[in-house]
Every structure is written in C-alpha cells, then in structure tokens.
Amino acid sequence: MGRGRGGGRGRGGFRGKGKKGGDRGPVRAEPWSDIPRENELYENYYKTGGFMDEEEFEEMWKYMASDLPNSFRFTGTKAEAHAVREIFKQRYIPAIKDVEFEGKTVPPPEPVEAFPDELVWHMKTHKKVIRRHKPFAEFQKFLVAETTAGNISRQEVVSMIPPHFLDVRPGMVVLDMCAAPGSKSAQLAEMIHGDEEERVQRAASNESFNPTEGGDYSDDGRSTGLLIANDTDVKRAGMLVHQVKRLNFPNLIVTQHDASIFPSIEMPPAPGSSKAQYLKFDRILADVPCSGDGTSRKNVNVWQKWTPRDGLGLHGLQLRILMRGLQLLKKGGRLVYSTCSMNPVENEAVVAAAIEACGGNDKVRLVDCSGYLPNLKRKPGMNKWKVLDTSNVNNGEDKIHHNFTSWESFQSTKEKYAESEPNRQFSSKITRSVFPPDEKSEIPLERCVRVYPHLQDTGAFFIAVLEKVNDIKVAQPGSITGQASTPKPVAESETATPAPLPPVDGEPNGAASPTKRKLEDVEEDAQPKRVKTEAPSAETPVEQSTKESSATPAASGKEMTARPKADNQGLQKEYFEYIPKDDPTVAGIFDFFGISDRFPRDRFLVRNREGLALNKMYYTSELARTIITRNKDRGMRFVHCGVVMFVSHKIKEAAKQAAWRLQGEGIKILEPWASKRIVKCTSRESLHRLLIEMFPMLPKDRKHNLGEVGDQLYELEVGCCFLKVDKRDGEDGFPFSMVLPIWRHPGSANLMVDKDDRKAMLLRLYNEQEPQLINHVAEKAKQDALKEQQDAEASAGAEANGEEEGDKPDVAVAGEDAVMTSS
C-alpha cells in the first residue's frame, strides 16, 4: 500500500480491480471454516498506518486470523455470582484438568486477570474435545443452564470493559444509548443496584445502616439510581428486554429511539418554579454502531468484505450520537465512547471532533483511565493517522487506493484528478473531521484506550472516557464535519437539554441506524432458543408505541418535544399506567401477604389503556415512575419498565383469598417486607422434592412427603406463599439464600418455577444431569383420558350387543378437592 501524502498514482496510490465501492458482493454461502482469513487491503492498512512496529504487527495479525476464545461472566448480585462461581470451580474445573486430547493435556477454563474477583473466564477448548469428553460436556450443560437462568452471561471479554470505565455507583442515573443485545446493560444494572439486598434486609429489620456509603441507598435500603437502555431497532430492543429481564432489577427502563436524536426527558419543575426541567445523566455509555473490523476472530466475514468506506460511512452517525450524549450528560458527568473497530476514523477522529465542537478541553476533557482495570493490557490512543479511500471510474472499475494524511491533501488530490480523470469518484463521506486534529488543539488523544488481540488473546476494542467539565455550546453538525465554513453554536441551557441535532449528510432523522455490529457481542450459544412472548390481549398490545414527529426543532436552545401521531397511522400504542396507591386490589394483596406499610404502594405499573389491575402488575423505582408518568404522552417509545411482581390467578377458591400470585422476578424485592404466608425450607430433601415433583399431594390425612414445608402449608389457606431458603454452609446447606413462589392448592402444592429453571436448580444444587420431572396433574389427566376412552369403548361394545342406553354405568366426576393447575 502506498504511503505518499496525497495518494495519487505517482505519490503512493495504487490501482486495483474490484467491485464498486460499497458493494460487498453476494451473501456468504460457504462454511465459516472455509473462508480464507486474508485481505490484502485490510492487512496493509493496519500494517503501514502507524499503529505499531512491524514485529508487533505480525504477532497481532496471527491472533487476528485465529479463533476467539469462548468467554463468560458470572452475573447477578454479588452473593449469587460468587456462589455460582464456586460451584463451577469446585465441581467442574478439577474434572476438566484431567482431560487429554491427542496426547496433550487440555487447558481448562481460566479466569481473565484483567477483571476482579474471578468473575470473568475464558476457554480455548475445541468443539471436538467438548463433544468427546464427558467432563467438558457436563460443563457445557451447566454453562447453558446457568445462562438461561441469568446467572452467566456469554459475552466477549473486550465488551465487558466499557462499564468498568464508567465508574457507576448506586444512585446514579445512567443511559446506555445503543444497548442491544444487552450484555453491557446487564453490567450497568448490577452496578446501579450494588449490594442493596443486604441493606434492604437491614432496613426492613429496623437495623441501622449508612444509606450513603458506597452510593445512594436512601430509599429504605434500595438504590435510587436508574438505567435507561435504548436501541433504535424494535427487534433488537426486544432482544435487549429478554437479556435484562433475567436480572430482575426494577430500576430499569428500555426505550426505542435513534440514539443520535434521543429525546429529552421531561422532569417536574424545581420547587417554586412552574418551568419543566429535563433529565441530565450522571453516566452515559455510547457503544456506537461501527464497522466491527476488530471482530474478525469471531466474524470471519470481515476478511471478505472489509473496505475503508465502512468506517467513513459511519463516522457522521457516530459523531452525532456522541454529540447528543454530551448534550444529555450532567456537568461533571462521565461518558464512555466505545467501538469494536480499530479504525481511527471511527475512534480518535470522532472523539477529537466532538471535543472541538464543544469548545475544547475546557468544556469536555479526556479522562486518564489507567487506574481502572489496572491488569488490563492496553495501548494508548493515536494522535496521527492516515485516512484510506478507494477511488474508482465507471462504477467500480480501475480502482486506486489512497492514503490521505490531511484534509488539504485530500482536496488537492481530488483537484488533480478532476483535470486528468474527471470521471474518477472519491468517497463522499470524507470530511474534515475524519482527519487528525490540528496540533494547536492539544487534545490528549493518547488517553484513549486501544485493546489489540495479541495483548491478552481477545478481540480488538477502542474506549475513550470523556468528562463534561462545563456547559457546552454545540456547533451545528455541518461545521463539525467540515461541510460548513462558519460554526453556528447552539447554547446549552441550565434547565433544559437542547433539542436533538439536525441530520448530517442528508440522512433523515427517522432513518434507521446501521447494525451495531457485523456480529453482536453475544455468542451464538448465548442466544435464547426461544423467547417467551406474551399473547396479544387487551393488556398487552402487539405493536410498539406511535412514532414521534421527525420535524427538526429550531436551533435556538429551546426545548422541543415530538408529539405522538394519531392512532390511525396503523400502529398501536404501548400503554404504561400506574395504579393509584389507594387502589383496593393492591390493598387486598398487601393485607393477604402482610406487606409493611413502609413498602411503597404507588409504584405498580400495568400495561393497558385504562390503568386497571387485570393481568400483571410491574414494580418500578420511584424515578422510573416519575419519568414514565411525565413522558408517556410526549412521543417517547417505552418498551419495558420494571419487574413483574404479581400475576392474576383465576381459580375457583378466589373468593377466599387474594386471587394474585407472586412472581419469581419480583419476589425477592417484596419478601423482606412481608409478615404473612412465609414458608421456611431448611431441608435439601424437601426442596429437591418440590423441584422434581409438580403438584405433589397434600392429602387430608396429612400423610405427605414434603417434610417441614408440607407441615407449614397445612396451616395456611389456599393461595400463594413465599418459600424462603436461607443460606447455610456445609453439605446439608444451601450456597445462597433463595425466595421462590409456591402455591397452596386444596389438595396439593406447586412451586411456581418453570421446567427450565427447575432443571437448572437441580443441576446447580444437586448435580443432577438429566432430572426426570414428575407432573402429577399431567399423569392424572392421562389416567382420566385413558379411563374415558376405555368407558367409551365399553359403551360402544354394549350398544353393539343390544344393551339399552339407560343401562350404562355413570362416569365418576372429580370432586371439589381435585388438584387445580395454575394459569
């Protein structure tokens, strides 16, 4: 590849045959393993672009052409994550260490040293080994089961870095601008909630604790923080909801908006004022759409399809997203900008252009993050780079590759070819902002972080941490990219966020952003086999919310809010309505379970237009309630909020008890405040029986096999209960505390846990690889059906023999105490 300043044929450019720029050819048909991991243009750009010396580059490129190790992270609360990690270490690692393959010892999974507490692991085991050796197969089954249960996240190592650099603490308000598929959002949610479970237990027991130690737990031990996870695509937003719902965290809202024009969120006026305020965030993650050329170890299509125009085409969108993030950031707040690309056009160029547009280092500064994840091996950001472009004639023929070092060299080269080859076309996406900033800008781009594959056997990643030092005046996008001669700043108000930026490069505000990755952070095995969706009903509309207006607000700094279009546009609105705190249904539920008056009653959300408690009730945080209530009719597209706490249970005995059951997602939040219907399980045998059997019998003679659990259930009327399992060390104990919903039927009991979760718990707690669940209701139904068939056959035989209709025997009818299944 030429290294000349201008990039012309005599000054460093070279010709190449190929398709028209941007045409990536046909869809891949051959297996991934057969795709050659070679691309001369891709390799030469990073070899000669000043990224590292030649010897180090050769080492790095060997890693780039090799398979990426599988990696995973233990998730959830600290106590649960550590407990599941210990089960993994004690049960599976010793067995795996003894495996040999083709005469060599197979390396077991190892903790990634860059992350604390051995919560992140990776393994390089080939699939052939996993298939042939039982210890690996058993470990794989454990990994899949815990991923389904939400205790493990199959996530690439480098994608775990940005949340650590954000330095999130409980009580902070955080925005994840481009959140799907949700692995980073899960990390952020864990950080926001912190160790609130322990503090809530102390608060509910009236024990003293410091509500501001390590964060803000002033809501009776609960974190006051909030995560808003956003994605522009409705399908990807659905994937995001599936990922974060497994964590059972109420301080969470999922939205669906173009991140580059993310709407301002209205908040109540300040005391003594009637003017609305707008939410500013403590922390923002902008993990933006990128070319993904650092993912070639897992996405081999990069080798076939990489072109320099990938990064150039995304630069403008990335810059708009970053600028919008800085507008939404609170003064003193921190924003992490990240990509899985190595191209400085998508990285340092975007960061430098944003800082310059905001007014320089006095307004927005790059943070030195060498103190975060100190064991992470990294390289500094670049201050100089070249911009690669491929010009062509006649729709892709006679290609020339150019390396430009400055905007001026690009302009002069275009002028030269305009005279000699007027039909030669250059990329229309090259703007002033894709080049290194002027040396006078003094932006310390070396504070950015570059992670390369050879440093710790990962993919490639870029991270920059920006702090908003002062209020900013944002130049219009045209002046940022070099398409306008005179910047026109837009002032930022103290009380209102400026309106979203207008489009760049002629792209409409409502245009869908390109895919975030060529292949997402979530590994293939981590994708759910099926996503359970709620059936359409009056409470759960199928479609997303109405589209917001795409009209561009005036650049005056005055808050402009998009209003929803009329319902006759063919879209159904998603409804998010809060139940009044004096609602009799909620009061009845609280009385039935003995819920303390200290537990808030005004945070229960339903999903129907009328705001009625019909099917499900979601519990949310106070800040989430404020945001939903004030912005539900302002054009915001809310997709998900809170956790399901109560579900309607339609049964015959409903007149005698609260006809609502506890839901596994929210039960741990509620249990510390409950005084009734608490059943304690102290025996491993009793819990095992409840897991392995569905609807075990509770006969009237009290001869049952449910141990201490059955004895307690006899003293309770029909309805749902808390099954509480306390942590206890030793072989006969439990590795961590659990709270599960259990239903007391007239003649049976049933743990309200689905089959997949039952099997995961049996594997986790009892090491049962292939448990056979017993469903007493299903067995009884089979027997009844068989008897009915036999009776019908006998009746038909009698008729054939001439017996009269009146001589038929009566069919037994199930009595009132028959087992009732849950809805």
Nearest residue to 354 (alpha-carbon basis) of 310, 315, 404, 381: 315
In sign, the C-alpha dihedral spanning 422, 427, 429, 430 is negative
Across the range 265-278, mean pLDDT stands at: 92
Percentage with pLDDT > 90 across the chain: 60
Query: What was the pLDDT predicted at 573?
Result: 66
Q: What is the pLDDT confidence band of residue 477, given thresholds at 50, 70 and 90?
A: low
Instruction: Point out which residues pair with 640 in neighbouring strands.
Output: 254
Amino acid at 126: H
Q: Which residues contact 694 (CB under 8 A, 6 or more apart)?
A: 750, 751, 773, 774, 775, 776, 777, 778
**Distance (Å, whole) CA 268 – CA 275:** 8
> One of 340, 369, 448, 681 is an active-site residue; which one?
340
Residue ranges of domains in the chain: 70-153, 157-382+435-508, 677-777
| Tally of CB atoms within 10 A around 446 | 15
> What are the pLDDT digits (tens) for 547-601?
333 333 333 333 333 333 333 333 456 789 999 999 999 999 999 999 999 999 9
182 is in an annotated binding site: yes
| Whether pLDDT at 9 is above 80 | no
Tell whether residue 420 is among the known ligand binding residues.
no
Residue 601 confidence (pLDDT): 96
Comparing 6-10, 404-408, 514-518, the range with the smallest average pLDDT is 6-10
Is the pLDDT at 815 greater than 50? The verdict is: no
Residue 181 annotated as binding?
yes
Residue 681 among the catalytic residues:
no
pLDDT range class, residue 521, cuts 50, 70, 90: very low
Q: Which of 125-134, 230-239, 281-290 has the highest mean pLDDT?
A: 281-290
The predicted model gives 270-277 an average pLDDT of: 89
Query: What is the pLDDT at residue 801?
Result: 67
Residue 681: in which H helix or E strand, if any? Answer: none
Does 250 appear as a known binding residue? no
180 is in an annotated binding site: yes
User: Which tokens sit at 336?
Assistant: 């992490």
The predicted structure's pLDDT at residue 394 = 79
Q: How far apart are CA 337 and CA 449, in angstroms?
A: 10
Chain centre to alpha carbon of residue 644? 18
183: annotated binding-site residue?
yes
**pLDDT for residue 62 is more than 50:** yes
Q: How confident is the model at residue 731 (pLDDT cuts 50, 70, 90)?
A: confident
d(CA 231, CA 251): 18
- At which residue do the structure tokens 């309106």 appear? 499
Q: What value does the mean pLDDT take over residues 144-151? A: 88
DSSP string across 28-47: P-S-GGGS----HHHHHHHH
**d(C-alpha 587, C-alpha 405), whole Å:** 69
pTM over 0.75: yes
pLDDT of 316 over the 90 cut: yes
pLDDT at 57 over 50: yes
- The 10s digit of each residue's pLDDT in 771-814 is 999 988 777 777 777 777 777 777 777 776 665 544 443 333 33
pLDDT digits (tens, 9 = 90+) for 746-779: 899 999 999 989 999 999 999 998 899 998 877 7
Non-local CB neighbours of 130 within 8 Å, separated by 6+ positions: 136, 137, 140
Question: Taking 90 as the threshold, does the pLDDT of residue 12 lie above it?
Answer: no
Architecture of the domain whose range is 157-382+435-508: 3-Layer(aba) Sandwich (3.40)
Q: What are phi and psi for residue 592, nearest 5 degrees?
A: -65, -40
Residue 250 has pLDDT above 70, yes or no: yes
* pLDDT for residue 802: 60
